[in-house]
Amino acid sequence: MQIRPYRPQQDYRDVLNAQCDLYKINFPKFVCTPAFLADQAQRLRAAARRPFENGIFVLEDGLDFAGFVWVALRMDLQGTYGSIDQVYLREPYRRRGFGKLLMQAAHDFIRKQGITTARLYVTADNTDAVHLYEREGYHTTRLEMERTL
């Protein structure tokens, strides 16, 4: 297994193909439409043109695509931070410790840009993701709350 930077020519299709699965897992009412995929494709192409602001790293198993992480540098009222926007392993690669490799690649990228805060959003009942992030030192700073009416 190895982690390497995203190569648009080679990885574009694999990262795009993962988008529907990633969103379906995290948003139960999500419907994957051609318009959504077109938006994601455009985001991905834009990110690849800005490699200092967007770190995308691919986990490879030989020649097979196993997963990826996508981190973007952002600034808001709380200052500058690395936003871990997407962490994804294909099903056969989950629960084997590879999530940690993806997180390390994201953290290295953020540190190299001189930034000391990493932040992410996660669906509360995505327990595999929540456990990974907690093991990686994340704690809750804000809560999104909802109720049924």
Ligand X SMILES: CC(C)(COP(=O)(O)OP(=O)(O)OC[C@H]1O[C@@H](n2cnc3c(N)ncnc32)[C@H](O)[C@@H]1OP(=O)(O)O)[C@@H](O)C(=O)NCCC(=O)NCCS
Q: Is 3 helix (H, G, I), strand (E, B) or coil?
A: strand
Q: Does 94 bind ligand X (CB under 6 A)?
A: yes
Q: Does 134 bind ligand X (CB under 6 A)?
A: no
Shortest reach from residue 51's CB to ligand X, in Å = 22
Kindly tell me which residue out of 5, 51, 79, 97 binds ligand X, with binding defined by CB under 6 A: 97
Q: Does 24 bind ligand X (CB under 6 A)?
A: no
Shortest reach from residue 75's CB to ligand X, in Å = 21
Residues in the interface with ligand X (CB under 6 A) total: 19
Provide, for the chain, the percentages of residues in helix, strand and coil under a 3-state DSSP scheme, each rounded to the nearest 5: 40, 25, 35
For ligand X, give the closer residue by CB, 114 or 136.
Answer: 136
Segment interacting with ligand X (CB under 6 A) among 29-37, 39-47, 93-101, 141-149: 93-101
CA distance linking residue 20 with residue 71, whole number of Å? 18
Q: Does 87 bind ligand X (CB under 6 A)?
A: yes
CB atoms within 10 A of CB 82: 22
Q: Which residues contact 126 (CB under 8 A, 6 or more apart)?
A: 25, 26
Residues 60-79 that bind ligand X (CB under 6 A): none
Distances (CA, A) of 43 to 132, 134, 146: 26, 28, 29
Shortest reach from residue 143's CB to ligand X, in Å = 16
